[in-house]
Structure 1
Amino acid sequence: MKQKLASILLLGLSFAANAQNASTSEKSPATETYNKWSIEVNGGANKPIRTFTKGYSTETVNFFHADLGARYMFNTKFGLKLDFGYDKFQERNNTPNFETTYLRTDLQGVINLGRVLNFETWTNSIGLLAHGGFGISKFNSKDGYDQDDYLVNGIAGLTAQVRLSNRVALTGDLSGIIHASQNQSWDGMSNARVATIDGILFNASLGLTVYLGKSEKHADWAAEVDTKYNSLEQRVATIESGLLDSDKDGVADFYDLEPNSITGVAVNTKGQSIDNNKNGVPDELESYLEKTYGQNGKTVPNSTLEDLINGGYVNTYFDSNSSKPTYTSLSGVDFLVKYLKNNPSKSADIIGYADEIGNTEYNLELSRKRAEAVKSIIVSAGIDASRLNVVANGEDTSVNKDSKEARQIVRRVSFRVK
Structure 2
Amino acid sequence: MKKLLFSVLLLSGAAAMAQETMTQDGPRDRDVIPYNQWSIDVGAGVHKPVRPLAGGYFTNTPSFAQGDLGVRYMVNDKFGFNLDLGYNRFEGDDDSAPFKSHAYRVSLEGVVNAGTFLGFREWTDRFNFLVHAGAGVTAMSYKEPLDIDDRDEMLNFTVGVTPQLRLSDRVTFFGDLSIFGHVRQDRTFDGTAAQNLRGFDGFLVNASVGFSFALGGNEVHADWYNGSVQSQLNDLDSRVSTLETEVANDTDYTLPGYLDQNALDSKYAMKGSNATGTNGTDGSGLIKQLINEGYVNVYFEFNSTKPTNYSLSSINFLAKYMNENPSASANLTGYADELGTSDYNQTLSERRAKMVYDILVATGVDASRLTHQGQGEDASVEKSSDPARQLVRRVKFQVN
The TM-score normalised by the length of structure 1 is 0.50
1:219 aligned partner:
222
* 1:171 aligned onto 2:177: no
How many residues align? The count is 233
Spell out structure 1 runs of 4+ moving beyond 2 A: 1-28, 144-147, 224-233
2:77–2:225 CA contact under 8 A, matched in 1: yes
Residue type at the aligned position of 1:215: N
1:51–1:186 CA contact under 8 A, matched in 2: yes
2:94 aligned partner:
93
1:158 aligned partner:
161
2:274 aligned partner:
none
* 1:183 aligned onto 2:186: yes
Residue type at the aligned position of 2:80: G
Shift of 1:204: 0.4
1:117 aligned partner:
118
1:66 aligned partner:
67
1:19–1:80 CA contact under 8 A, matched in 2: no
Alpha-carbon separation, structure 2, partners of 1:166 and 1:79: 19
1:45–1:64 CA contact under 8 A, matched in 2: yes
Relative distance call for 1:144 and 1:191 in structure 2 (3 A) is farther
Relative distance call for 1:124 and 1:93 in structure 2 (3 A) is same
Alpha-carbon separation, structure 2, partners of 1:31 and 1:175: 34
Question: Please, which runs of 5 or more residues in structure 1 have no aligned partner?
Answer: 234-418
Residue type at the aligned position of 2:136: G
C-alpha deviations, 1:255-279, integer Å up to 9, x for none? Answer: xxxxxxxxxxxxxxxxxxxxxxxxx
Residue type at the aligned position of 1:61: P
Alpha-carbon separation, structure 2, partners of 1:122 and 1:106: 34
C-alpha deviations, 1:308-338, integer Å up to 9, x for none? Answer: xxxxxxxxxxxxxxxxxxxxxxxxxxxxxxx
Relative distance call for 1:197 and 1:8 in structure 2 (3 A) is farther
Relative distance call for 1:213 and 1:67 in structure 2 (3 A) is same
1:129–1:158 CA contact under 8 A, matched in 2: yes
Alignment of 1:26-37 (within 5 A): 32-37=33-38
1:141 aligned partner:
142
Alpha-carbon separation, structure 1, partners of 2:150 and 2:135: 23
Shift of 1:9: 6.3
SS at match of 2:223: coil
1:46 aligned partner:
47
2:53–2:190 CA contact under 8 A, matched in 1: yes
Shift of 1:33: 1.2
Alpha-carbon separation, structure 2, partners of 1:223 and 1:102: 39
Relative distance call for 1:10 and 1:17 in structure 2 (3 A) is same
1:15–1:109 CA contact under 8 A, matched in 2: no
Relative distance call for 1:27 and 1:189 in structure 2 (3 A) is farther
RMSD value, Cα: 3.2
C-alpha deviations, 1:225-267, integer Å up to 9, x for none? Answer: 655557999xxxxxxxxxxxxxxxxxxxxxxxxxxxxxxxxxx
Alpha-carbon separation, structure 2, partners of 1:134 and 1:22: 24
C-alpha deviations, 1:268-315, integer Å up to 9, x for none? Answer: xxxxxxxxxxxxxxxxxxxxxxxxxxxxxxxxxxxxxxxxxxxxxxxx
Alpha-carbon separation, structure 2, partners of 1:194 and 1:11: 29
- Computing the radius of gyration over CA atoms, which structure comes out larger, 1 or 2? 1
Shift of 1:195: 2.4
1:341 aligned partner:
none
The percent of aligned pairs where both chains have the same amino acid is 38
SS at match of 2:77: coil
SS at match of 2:46: strand
Alpha-carbon separation, structure 2, partners of 1:57 and 1:18: 45
Alpha-carbon separation, structure 2, partners of 1:31 and 1:8: 30
Question: Please, which runs of 5 or more residues in structure 2 have no aligned partner?
Answer: 237-400
